[in-house]
Structures are given as structure tokens and as C-alpha cells.
Amino acid sequence: MLSPCLPRHTTPEPSHVAVISEAVAARLISIEDAISVVESAFASLDSGLSRAFVFSAGPGPGPNTRLGVKAGYDGLSRHPGAKLGSYWSDNSLAGLANHGSTTLLLDDRTGRPCAFIAASYLTALRTAAADAVAVKHLAPLSASRLSILGSGHQAYYEALAVAQVRQLEQILIWGRDPAAAAQLALRLCEAGLPARAAKIEEAVEQAEILCTVTASIQPLFDAALVAPGTHISAMGADGPGKQELPGALVESALLFTDLVTQSVMIGEFQHACREGRVALNQIVPLGAVINGTALGRTSDRQMTIFDSSGVAVQDIAIGALVLERARAGGLALEIEL
């Protein structure tokens, strides 16, 4: 039977798909671009213009492999799409990154692919940009001391992003590997930021802005170490069982997130909700604060926590900007499906 959507005796027009490499994406998008795009994505998601669908993840073929899919629709760029994320722990033995990300954009008129984007760099940027947007809207305006718990690849971008929205006088870095923390601090100093390695107690106690970016499955520190008025961006929990913050801390703070349903499923707030410490209506979408439909911080003495597990709208939005710029500059490899 002929499809009712196609005229008789015709065949579909071929799809032209842009393929964009990591190198091209890195050339075209800055941390400032990412912050602007992600802030707009938060706002459009809260307003209903954009949509995020249920996150799906599962094991890969080996014992230390994992893949997940985040899908959605960015109403600003009018692109449906998805991002496939992977983790293959043995990749490093072959000189490859353990984490990988690929974004697929669809044409909203046909639902057919229009772009394949190598997105590991873009994922690092959009994750850090979400942190910066949260700091911009939730941290005290006078906050100048940033502490980062975690010394991996992502931590570098978190510092760069927060430095775009607050004038930082001190950055303390803690990591399970002191040498890695010292190396990250040196790298940030070379980028012009005032960073040094520290023990975890000092980092938490001195923080006015605290960013956790680890793969921890248990709280990293005691809640009593955190000073009143601190803003915390919990960036590491993105799967069942992951946890960076003590439950008592979550229970005592104002809570914000990218997507409430996802936060309580795979994000930092999954534990507090399951334990009955926090109700769903206590968690505020950051987009509502940006849009002015919900309050953020109202006092410099309040503690605020932003939980980021990452949503597809961020990936699609930043991918759409890369696609636009790559095509405008003749940097996309165009293929026909």
C-alpha cells in the first residue's frame, strides 16, 4: 500500500545531513556562547516551548560499558533531537576517551536527520554552562570564593564557566588524587585564574560557591562544614545510586534543578526524595527562576543547591548553534542519506 503522505509514483527527496567533527565544534563555540544558549534552553523548557523526554540508559556489551540516550525538542531552534552518551572504561588503554557523546538533530518538517555532531567537547561546555547559569541566578552577588570537589576533565570547564559570572578571588581544588588536583590548579593558574589545591575540609569550609563534579556514590563531606549562604552546584550525579551531598544538607537548603522528574530519578535529589527528606514541590526548576515565575535566593544567609543531571534540550540547542555556524562557514561535511 502506498503511503497516504506521498503522491503516487514519487519517491522521497534525499536527506542532506551535516557531519560536524569535534575539532570543528571546538572552533565554533566558546564558553560564553554555551552559557547564553543554556540559559535560554532552561527558560524555554520551563515555559513549555521546549520539551525533554524520559532518559534511558543501560549497560553496554562489557562489564565496564554504559550508554544512555537523552531526547527532546528545542523550541527555539525548532530541532527535535537526541544525544547518545557512552562510557567504555578500557578506551584509555587504546589512547581514546572513556566518555563519548554524539548529538543527532532532526529536521522539524520531516523528522529526518539533518546533523550528526561529535559532541564530547560540547557536552563539557553545556554542563559547565548549566553550573554558571545556576551560579548567576542563585549565588550571592558578592560570592568570590569557588571550591571544586573533583579534579577530572570536567572540573576545568566548571571553573572557567563560573569565572564568567562571578569575579573570583580564590579557587580551591580537591581531588581523591592530590597530584591531579595540583595539576588542575596549575592549569587554571595558566588560564589566569587564582587556583590552588586544598584538602577537602578547607575547600568546603571556605567555599561561597561549591561545585561537586565527581562520580561518587556516597556523600563527600559532612554537612556541618558548609557555611550559611553557600551556593552548591551538584554536577556529578547522573545515574541511579550516585550521590555527592549529605542528606542533611539537601534537607536544609533551597533546592533547584534542570528537570525535576529526572533529578529525583537519576540526579542528586534521588536519595532525599526516596528517604522522605524532600517533597517534589520543594524542588524548583531553574528555568522558572530565570523566567521570574519562581523565587531563587532571597537572602545571603540562605543555602541553595542546584542539581544538574543534564537534559537533551541543552544538547540540541548548542548543537543547533554549531550546525548554523558550521554551514555558514562551509565547515560541515554534507552527505546524502
Q: Which residues are catalytic?
A: 83
Half-sphere exposure of 218 (CA within 13 A, CB side): 1
Given a contact cutoff of 8 angstroms between Cβ atoms, the answer to whether 121 and 314 are in contact is no
C-alpha cell at 101: 557523546
Distances (CA, A) of 243 to 239, 264, 313: 9, 12, 24
Which residue do the cell numbers 579557587 mark?
171
Asked if 284 and 253 touch (Cβ cutoff 8 Å), the reply is no
Helix (H, G, I), strand (E, B) or coil at 119: coil
Closest CA to 77 of 312, 319, 285, 287: 319
Cα 134 to Cα 115: distance, rounded to the nearest angstrom: 29
Return d(Cα 81, Cα 83) in angstroms, integer.
7
SS3 233: strand
